[in-house]
Amino acid sequence: MTAPRPVVEPNTWDFLREPMIAPTGFREYDARWKYPDDINLPGVTALGLGLGTQMFERGLRPEIAIGNDYRDYSLAIKNALILGLLQAGVTVKDIGPALSPMAYFSQFLLDAPAVAMVTASHNPNGWTGVKMGFERPLTHGPEDMARLRDIVLAGAGVARDGGRYDRIDGVRAAYIDDLVGDFRMSRPLRVVCATGNGTAGAFAPEVLERIGVEVIPSHNRLDYTFPNYNPNPEALEMLHDMAETVGRHGADLALGFDGDGDRCGVVDNEGEEIFADKMGVILARDLVKLYPGATFVTDVKSTGLFASDPALIAADAKADYWKTGHSHMKRRVKELGALAGFEKSGHYFLAEPIGRGYDCGMRVAVEVCKLMDRNPGLSMADLRRALPRTWATPTMSPYCPDGEKYGVVTRLTARIEAMAAAGAVLAGQPIERIVTVNGARVMLANGAWGLIRASSNTPNLVVVCESPASEAEMRAIFTDLDTLIRAEPSVGAYDQTI
């Protein structure tokens, strides 16, 4: 195996022959690159050979299920990855176009020791990547990704005989059957189904209709140019469009899905956008009635209500705040035997007996509908209003280069720790403690908090703030944190802000 180059000039002979892989594409728990700026097709083949080599190194049976999302270049990326896996001596079970959770499901259906899903997830067009895993329902964590990076970038992939390609049909139908089961709604429910013209459009409307929901379609036609907006239910553009559609049609709620269908966003019947961490508390309140004493894992970007909500406390629910990232969260849910994990970005990890522990936006959609069915006299807005009131920002991501973002967060964390030691305040509140499991979550004396961390997937920082007191305090927390951030010259503009 030829060691990939970090840069190969486009529109040259070498670009069509020599593997190119930017090292920064190997992230904490998956791989993502701009294509073809940071990886070329020979580079993707080198990645496949490295992944296959890693499978043999781990002693796995050399079989892998593989799928791709609905983008115009994803099939080419998948075929290049398959070529490398075949070179490594792996049997490839190609399930075709898919959602990430459909690929995870195929591991169970096909008894495959490994999975690889070609997807840029919620990233805009121009990005590609691979989500992969060996131990279902888990996906690669930092150690796995570091080892894969070392194999690939060193040109240490090993070619073996025995590779085989199998086209597998019927996985989509089996996946939808598994989601639907024998459940049917007992109350009428009108739901806006928003997919942003992404892959979920081939799944979500059918799943909802089969459980007895009246579907109001919103950008469900597959179109990989994403003519309306990039499918990302954490982005205000998509959430606002969902809210407008709810109002126009008088719907009971809206459900929105990202480009590879592993995340779900919710807007209630009053057009209020319910961020996924708050939706997680609503679901946890309902689920803990069925499973008293359950443990719920949530990421450091999420609301403090998982620990402070009186209803969850009364039901002896346990809250565990953990690292942001789908791989970290899946692993933690399995490690603790938790009933579910909730991430502010819209990943929900519903474990047995509800789900299989991986993040699946379609499963979340079904469970939200079941929640509504178990509460026939209440609207989604009623369930939202029943939560203790807090004011929170959306997830805000200022630009910061991949090579600098972790150093920036380390310096900012040290400055905040020094402030706390000196008795300084943030937004007028004393700093009570700083949670550093993933960046710096600054906990204030009145339960308010602000978070600064490095994005695992993109060249950005991540900033989130919440106050149980007022919107003004929430904004003040952001202002004070942003003042610290602006002292770092490598940090650029936000993708969205309050």
Q: Quote the pLDDT of residue 314.
A: 95
Q: Quote the pLDDT of residue 157.
A: 98
Q: Which residues pair with 166 in a beta bridge?
A: 93
pLDDT bin (cut points 50, 70, 90) of residue 169 is very high
Question: Does the structure show a pLDDT above 90 at 40?
Answer: yes
Euclidean distance between CA atoms 482 and 398, whole angstroms: 10
Edge-first strand order for the sheet with 164-167 is 31-34, 127-133, 114-118, 63-68, 91-97, 164-167
Q: Quote the pLDDT of residue 234.
A: 84
pLDDT bin (cut points 50, 70, 90) of residue 209 is very high
3-state SS, one letter per residue, for 22-41: CHHHECCCCEEEECCCCECH
Scan for tokens 């970038």, then name that residue: 153
Question: Does the structure show a pLDDT above 80 at 1?
Answer: no
Strand-strand pairing, 253-257 and 264-268: antiparallel
Q: Quote the pLDDT of residue 277.
A: 92
Question: Does the structure show a pLDDT above 90 at 354?
Answer: yes
Q: Quote the pLDDT of residue 391.
A: 93
pLDDT bin (cut points 50, 70, 90) of residue 106 is very high
Strand-strand pairing, 340-342 and 318-322: unpaired
- Average pLDDT estimate for 287-313: 93
Contact (Cβ atoms closer than 8 angstroms) between residue 362 and residue 263: no
> Residue 434 has what DSSP assignment?
E
- Average pLDDT estimate for 219-224: 98
DSSP 202-217: GTHHHHHHHTT-EEEE
Q: Quote the pLDDT of residue 265.
A: 95
Contact (Cβ atoms closer than 8 angstroms) between residue 115 and residue 92: no
Q: Quote the pLDDT of residue 302.
A: 92
Scan for tokens 């079941």, then name that residue: 370
Scan for tokens 């930017």, then name that residue: 22
pLDDT bin (cut points 50, 70, 90) of residue 307 is confident
Quote the percentage of the chain above a pLDDT of 70: 100
Euclidean distance between CA atoms 452 and 419, whole angstroms: 15
- Average pLDDT estimate for 246-266: 97
pLDDT, tens digit, 9 for 90 and up, residues 431-478 = 999 989 899 999 999 989 999 999 987 899 999 999 999 999 999 999
- Average pLDDT estimate for 45-64: 98
Euclidean distance between CA atoms 478 and 463, whole angstroms: 8
pLDDT, tens digit, 9 for 90 and up, residues 64-99 = 999 999 999 999 999 999 999 999 999 999 999 999
pLDDT, tens digit, 9 for 90 and up, residues 13-35 = 999 999 999 999 999 889 999 99
Euclidean distance between CA atoms 53 and 44, whole angstroms: 14
Average pLDDT of the chain? 96
pLDDT, tens digit, 9 for 90 and up, residues 309-352 = 999 999 999 999 899 888 999 999 999 999 999 998 889 999 99
Q: Quote the pLDDT of residue 208.
A: 98
pLDDT, tens digit, 9 for 90 and up, residues 357-408 = 999 999 999 999 999 999 999 999 999 999 999 999 988 999 999 999 999 9
Contact (Cβ atoms closer than 8 angstroms) between residue 66 and residue 74: no
Strand-strand pairing, 253-257 and 190-194: parallel
- Average pLDDT estimate for 202-213: 98
- Average pLDDT estimate for 54-72: 98
Rounded to 5 degrees, φ, ψ at 148 are: -60, -45
Strand-strand pairing, 114-118 and 63-68: parallel
pLDDT bin (cut points 50, 70, 90) of residue 485 is very high
pLDDT, tens digit, 9 for 90 and up, residues 107-151 = 999 999 999 999 998 889 999 999 999 999 999 999 999 999 999
> Residue 271 has what DSSP assignment?
S
